Chain A
Amino acid sequence: MNAVEAAGVWKFYGDFPALREVSFGAAAGGCLALLGRNGAGKTTLLRILAGLARAGRGQVRLLGGDPRDRETRARVGVLGHGISLYDELSARENLELFARLYGLNDAPRRAAAWLERTGLERVADARVREFSRGMRQRLAVARAFLHEPRVLLLDEPFTSLDDRAVELLQGLLAEAVAAGGAVVLSTHQLREALELATHVVLLVRGRLAHTGERTAAMLEDPGWLYRQYGEG
């Protein structure tokens, strides 16, 4: 049984089919890169996997359970386009809030540990509103990982990250995979993402065009896969 499973997923926005008959699985201990141009449906698919939206048709399973189940949600980490942090709260307050929402008993300690890990301990009590972009992203990463999720769903996580943040994220993801977690991340074709990936899935206009292992060829020339499927 795969850690992440999608079967026959369709999603409609009014008339428009954003996803058509998408079926794939991501195993534990692996990292799946979800490739596709803008508008191919990557974000839509990730949102459905994360339980933020409902599939029009088809089924989604995370760790064998419905993404909307609370027990399942407690073991899933989500990093979307927005940083999902409150500007008016301090870094520490943000992390403690989410630690509490995820049912962690030692929220202050956990938050402090992650602040150190992401190099933000010196600005722990400053408001997020004052942070630079790189700092915000590192904090967002802390928020996504702090409850030690078994499944990680990330939407274009490496886009416009500074070097420090890229290094941090790559390290955390590698750790998660090594510990037996499952990672699904979407990306255009960034090398940083492809390096980590063990498997690759390509979405073309809402349909699954390719699924398979991530090959060395893909790493050398990320655009290769797109050209295979006429995406140029």
Chain B
Amino acid sequence: MMRFLRQSLAVAAKDLRAELRTKEALNSSVAFALVILLLFSFAFEPTEDQTRQIAGGLLWLAFAFAGALILNRSFARELANDCLDALVAAPLSGAALFLGKALANFVLLLAVELIALPVFGVFYGVNWTRQLGPLMLVVVLGTWGMTVVGTLFSALTVNLRMRELMLPMLVYPVMVPALLAAIQLTSPLVMGQPLDGELMVWLRLLAAFDIIFTALTLALVETVLVR
């Protein structure tokens, strides 16, 4: 167990270190998220009230599209210098490798989102911190769901020609329930509503999605990695 964790953390640290030194995926992802937010405000010119109501959809679409850039890079970065071979040859379980990469992706995705949120607040003139705690909970849960599914599909599509296209096409339909729940939770929270009543159903759905898919992806990853 300890070894598993140590190996996962070693992989996560490696990914984060490498990414933070080049910031390639991080920069393009942040830029993409900001561009989406900008374009939406041009396209729809929402009032402050309207913005609050659609905040959920707006933010999560930006997170999902920008997130694909980071998720794509996850296993793709192992192709250079044949690093993936060395990882697969090492006495590392597929689950440990997967978990390490998922953790790194999670941190990177959160970073992009935490940069995008204040920018959203400024562009749209919206105060989104009224229910900060619950909102952060939703962001964490939604991001983890996206991370876990996206990292598995990153491994699945790593050797395909049209990887950049295939990854989003496969991930988004699977993510629908989690995205829907996150969106349905985020708008009211941005509007300042407390997290209770009907909203709890969405929270439970999001948590259930996370648990089910974490288990499922961990179980399936070994199969995907050995060719």
A/B contact in complex, CB under 8 angstroms: yes
Which residues of A are interface residues toward B (Cβ below 8 A)? 47, 50-54, 68, 70-71, 73-74, 76, 78, 80-89, 93, 97-98, 100-103, 127, 143
CB distance from A61 to the nearest CB of B (A): 16
Of B89, B92, B227, the most chain A CB neighbours within 10 A belong to: B89
Q: Is the interface of B mostly helix, strand, loop or mixed?
A: helix
Contacting pair A73 B226 (CB below 8 A): no
B residues near A53, Cβ cutoff 8 Å:
227
Whether B220 sits at the interface, judged by CB under 8 Å, is no
Given the interface pairs A86-B14, A89-B18, A93-B17, the reply to whether A101 lies near B82 with Cβ below 8 Å is no
Contacting pair A84 B226 (CB below 8 A): no
A residues near B89, Cβ cutoff 8 Å:
50-52, 73, 76, 78
Q: A78-B85, A83-B81, A103-B3 are in contact. List 20 more A-B contacts (CB 8 A).
A: A50-B85, A52-B85, A52-B88, A52-B227, A54-B226, A70-B93, A74-B91, A78-B89, A80-B85, A81-B82, A82-B85, A84-B85, A87-B80, A89-B17, A98-B90, A100-B10, A101-B7, A101-B91, A127-B21, A143-B86
CB distance from B121 to the nearest CB of A (A): 33
Contacting pair B82 A82 (CB below 8 A): yes
Whether B50 sits at the interface, judged by CB under 8 Å, is no
CB distance from B200 to the nearest CB of A (A): 42
Contacting pair A103 B10 (CB below 8 A): no
CB distance from A166 to the nearest CB of B (A): 21
Nearest 6 Cβ contacts at the A-B interface? A82-B82, A84-B86, A74-B91, A73-B91, A88-B18, A70-B91
Of A68, A100, A101, A102, the most chain B CB neighbours within 10 A belong to: A101
Whether B136 sits at the interface, judged by CB under 8 Å, is no
How far is B84's CA from A84's CA once the two chains are assembled, in angstroms? 8
> B96: nearest residue on chain A (CB-CB)?
A101
Contacting pair B85 A97 (CB below 8 A): no
Residue in B21, B82, B226 whose beta carbon sits within 8 Å of that of A68 in the complex: B226
> B92: nearest residue on chain A (CB-CB)?
A101
Whether B137 sits at the interface, judged by CB under 8 Å, is no
Whether B87 sits at the interface, judged by CB under 8 Å, is yes
Number of A-B contacts (CB under 8 A): 81
Residue in A83, A102, A127 whose beta carbon sits within 8 Å of that of B90 in the complex: A102
Which residues of B are interface residues toward A (Cβ below 8 A)? 3, 6-7, 10-11, 14, 17-18, 21-22, 80-83, 85-93, 226-227
Contacting pair B90 A82 (CB below 8 A): no
Contacting pair A84 B82 (CB below 8 A): yes
> A82: nearest residue on chain B (CB-CB)?
B82
> B88: nearest residue on chain A (CB-CB)?
A52
Contacting pair A101 B90 (CB below 8 A): yes
Contacting pair B6 A100 (CB below 8 A): yes
Given the interface pairs A78-B85, A82-B81, A101-B10, the reply to whether A88 lies near B21 with Cβ below 8 Å is yes
CB distance from A217 to the nearest CB of B (A): 35
B residues near A102, Cβ cutoff 8 Å:
90-91
Of B17, B86, B227, the most chain A CB neighbours within 10 A belong to: B86
B residues near A86, Cβ cutoff 8 Å:
14, 18, 81, 83
> A81: nearest residue on chain B (CB-CB)?
B82
B residues near A101, Cβ cutoff 8 Å:
7, 10-11, 87, 90-92
B residues near A54, Cβ cutoff 8 Å:
226-227
Contacting pair B86 A98 (CB below 8 A): yes
How far is B88's CA from A47's CA once the two chains are assembled, in angstroms? 11
How far is B21's CA from A101's CA once the two chains are assembled, in angstroms? 22
CB distance from B100 to the nearest CB of A (A): 10
A residues near B3, Cβ cutoff 8 Å:
103
How far is B22's CA from A98's CA once the two chains are assembled, in angstroms? 21
> B83: nearest residue on chain A (CB-CB)?
A84
B residues near A93, Cβ cutoff 8 Å:
14, 17
A residues near B83, Cβ cutoff 8 Å:
82, 84-86
CB distance from B222 to the nearest CB of A (A): 9
